[in-house]
Structure 1
């Protein structure tokens, strides 16, 4: 470690000296006024010592800030309030006539500087922590489009199976990363590895930064938890310098460690997973627990020198025909400036692997959505193929900004505020193949606009205000379109052949 780096690391220790000394000086001033005694010598010495220690703290703090491990904007606030505190303390020592005003200002600035320093060290919610939600331990494997209907038909399925029916199959969706990995990282890792604080140059608050790794390289090896330092560091002895979270911080439970192991073992996907499951006698289609994993059962953690994982994540992408055609056409890479700006707004930007310059944008981590964020996407217009805006307060007028994205193939507007008026802006998307309108205010009146999307293949309309009659009209206009309404039931064995499914009347268009 360089001498300057060592000085910087002493900042958290040094900074407490001026805090205590200056507050002591102010307390002596109050005591002097109340008791009517002369202790100016003590007060002057305390102010001189406090100002001198403040200078030392500022120097050490500036050196520490050069590591780049902290949020630049928050560092600037802490830095300048600290410098102002030092200046006020020095003036209070020199200008005895204005000492009360200057010392009052010093205490106020000292409080602000300390608050910003606490934010840097412990996170922005350290003073008034947000209520943490309880961690779930079971992975819901069925998509929300299917769970409600399955719950209502499970009893009927079991009865049919007992009567000799062939077990049925159904597609399910899981989003292990978003539903389980993100809450673990948020509760146990973000305080040291996020936009505010980046220990070791590592951020864990977005997909792109997890893939990027930190100063020591990659931290993730899909399919191999023991070669992934994001996991293997959890298994090191608590007194090991590489153990995470550090000693004294809240540790992960066995179930949380098991969840991370489960995610990495399955390929460490950042996308929703779609698979087919068989529902037979005694099966529960709505629950699949993360395998129980005791720490004693885990393999011995590798040495600290072998914790750096090699390789990169090549996520499997289900590519449709229009998208495959676009992906086969070379395109220039997006500028680093454009990508950095999006990532600073917590928009997850992912690529399609194998050196492709085409991109996907996911707003799942955006806390304060505004339509101006869509303007930033224009900087990657040529490269952007997929956009996920689910659960954001997207309005109809916001969709005007997407009309110029001619390469867009997938658009997820699940549980947004859009209505029929917004669909008119989507008819200018020539390559749109999948559109998710689940949980929106769409009605039959808005559906005709979608007939202009000639390549549209899959449309999700579960829990909208669209009627079966409106769906039937759209199917007549677009016979190739698969419309998912969410309603289905399994057939009786005496009415259909093995493996067949029958849709309820009025919902036969739900599945293709």
Structure 2
């Protein structure tokens, strides 16, 4: 605490009078908070000394070699610029810290390390100036150690600055497991992925569904170390309490809840959360938060205790899907799909959702998109690597659409029931190597079309009820695919656990 008092006195005695003199006329004629305005330039200014002072160290090191001795002349002017940038960053950082909302311990470390960088850069500049004189030539041997110490402090200050902005585990969250073991960083925290829910109806709504969403998207700015707007979201009591602008939640009224209102603002809006440039909530995550708040924002209720609207049911089912056996999910990993490409389909009333809680693979359900046709099917191509399940039953697609669907490299489930496809279209699937489930119920497929599926070695389940396919053709297909299960219908089918989920309201 004594060191902080000395620092505060130093600021009051030297820097603040200079700033007051410099901005006096501006403050007298212009509205606004100049201290906060200058303070918010800290993230911009702080990158200047980082780059410049690293160059100084490199020049200092290379300049000692005879082949690069000519670089010595450049060190002093570059160092002078870096020193000024470091001092300016300290001033802006001090003013920004006065706005509050930061973890005191992290802030203290970042502040003093930043001051250390500025002080050493000043000492190095003085040393280089004096070492040119004969009586101070001995100082020259200290230039490289000072530059090295400056870089070490610069790195440490940057680490604590990043922890203030993104959270102390920001880097380790994304660390590969092999590197995590090598460095002893421990196991990944729950913030890195949505958990698999064994039985979603028994899940705690806040703890198992809402909290992981907040952890992924909101904790970096609203945690024990940083409380933007005085708001903490990592504690249910503090979440309910709210921040500087009042309560974050209004149970039963999502659009009157500050938390949800800011999420739904356009990303360009200043008050939009998370801030532009940071990972945003998906439409499904936002919908789950809206449902939770509309249900009264309970912190201790299970899914089965709440009313589950029709549009929320498949989203909850997706959280449970990766815990089910026999679910057709590709084994290889894939990058996340672009939100804009999913939005295009959602505007066509296509339900786009993940096939599993922690999977980037997608299932597309066309239950509300009956008018989807051959002209629309090209919208699937931007997502072709992510699409694993297509439920296109009862849509307007024809054989022409199968040419596009045949290009999906990771498709494992395909529903074509009650569509206008024929033998011509089904032949487009002959080259598929991932398809495991195919539903042709109520289509015009005949023996000629089904023969093309003999090449689809991955196929495990086939539904052909109310088609013109003969028993002879089915036997011929099974001779090529011995593990294939063919359902010809005419009886009550056993429901697969991932086909239908019934929610019983108590």
TM range (shorter): 0.3 to 0.5
Bigger RCO (CA 8 Å, 6+ sep)? 1
Question: Which structure has greater helix proportion?
Answer: 2
TM-score norm. by structure 2 comes to: 0.47
Question: Which structure has greater strand proportion?
Answer: 1
Tell me which structure has the larger Cα radius of gyration: 2
TM-score norm. by structure 1 comes to: 0.47
